């Protein structure tokens, strides 16, 4: 299968390119230097030239706090740009898989959010990502909108690696314990995206690590797993104010049937990430 990954230099896009090639797919990658999804005509031409069967949109404006001040810029990419790409896919006869986020929900619930639950983003980032979902669904009948959460993996900035780095430098780290979600390892999400690429199923899918935890839980588990002596102390969101509001509860679950996406428990994802990290880390002689 010929698969075009847009946003191929990002953490998820890079992992998808590598895994798809290893699985025998004909993978093509484009990033900002070769496709500007805010340019509808240029996006149409780029997709037509690549002639993919499936396009996976990993491109996004992901600066959650920056979007509060630059919502129009974020909307151009996350909303209008996503629609432009979906329209180009429809014109080329390609299926589109669009990555979205738990931030489309208000984050004030107590039960896991299902695909059919009402949205209500409270941040500019969430609003622009919801706009993208609506634009993709409107422009391309053959679409899969994949909401994921708390994504981490090799090749990009992420919470788990940040905690490991801090744990190697400090005796104590303080981490919020009043935000609950689903940590998701790219190594588990990528195979699910490749399966969706070959699936006829359309609509919205929730795809996040199984179970849930707080950021404090995740940090403590990660540092314990590597034997770090660093102590993790719980704190609150109010003690670390940010420009964009964070969802207090953004656990994702699925109500789909046989075509639902089920990822392994978040603890397995963390173990997989650490194992992959160890496998690519070389220790100098005498180090």
Nearest to 72 by CA among 149, 124, 112, 9: 124
Nearest-10 Cα torsion for 245, 251, 256, 260: 110
Structure tokens at 197: 């690429």
Query: Cα-flanking dihedrals φ and ψ of residue 247, to 5°?
Result: -65, 135
Q: Which of 103, 113, 125, 152 is catalytic?
A: 125
DSSP state of 259: T
**CA separation, residue 235 to residues 91, 121, 168, 179, 239 (Å):** 50, 24, 20, 10, 7
For residue 61, indicate whether it is catalytic.
Answer: no
Q: Which residues contact 46 (CB under 8 A, 6 or more apart)?
A: 30, 34, 35, 88
Structure tokens at 231: 């102590």
CA angle (120 as vertex; 72, 235 as ends), nearest 5: 95
Structural contact between residues 30 and 8, judged by C-beta atoms closer than 8 angstroms: yes
Q: Which helix (H) or strand (E) holds 209?
A: none
Q: Which residues are catalytic?
A: 125
């Amino acid at each position: 299968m010929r698969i075009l990954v847009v946003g191929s230099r990002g953490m998820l896009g890079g992992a998808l390119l590598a895994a798809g090639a290893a699985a025998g797919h004909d993978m093509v990658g484009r990033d900002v230097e070769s496709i500007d999804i805010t340019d509808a005509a240029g996006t149409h031409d780029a997709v037509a030239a690549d002639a993919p069967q499936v396009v996976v949109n990993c491109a996004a404006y992901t600066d959650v706090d920056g979007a509060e001040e630059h919502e129009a810029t974020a909307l151009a990419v996350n909303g209008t740009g996503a629609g432009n790409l979906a329209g180009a896919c429809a014109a080329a006869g390609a299926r589109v898989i669009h990555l979205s986020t738990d931030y489309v929900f208000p984050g004030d619930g107590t039960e896991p959010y299902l695909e059919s639950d009402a949205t209500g983003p409270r941040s500019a980032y969430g609003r622009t990502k919801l706009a993208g979902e609506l634009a993709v669904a409107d422009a391309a009948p053959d679409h899969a909108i994949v909401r994921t959460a708390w994504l981490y993996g090799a090749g990009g900035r992420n919470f788990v690696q940040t905690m490991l780095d801090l744990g190697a430098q400090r005796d104590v780290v303080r981490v919020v314990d009043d935000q609950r979600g689903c940590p998701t390892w790219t190594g588990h999400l990528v195979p699910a995206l490749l399966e969706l690429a070959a699936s006829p199923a359309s609509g919205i899918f929730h795809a996040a690590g199984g179970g849930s935890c707080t950021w404090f839980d995740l940090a403590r588990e990660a540092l314990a797993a590597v034997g770090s002596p660093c102590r993790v102390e719980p704190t609150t969101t109010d003690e670390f104010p940010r420009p964009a509001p964070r969802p207090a509860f953004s656990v994702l679950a699925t109500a789909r049937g046989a075509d639902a996406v089920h990822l392994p428990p978040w603890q397995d994802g963390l173990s997989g990430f650490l194992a992959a990290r160890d496998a690519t880390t070389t220790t100098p002689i005498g180090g």
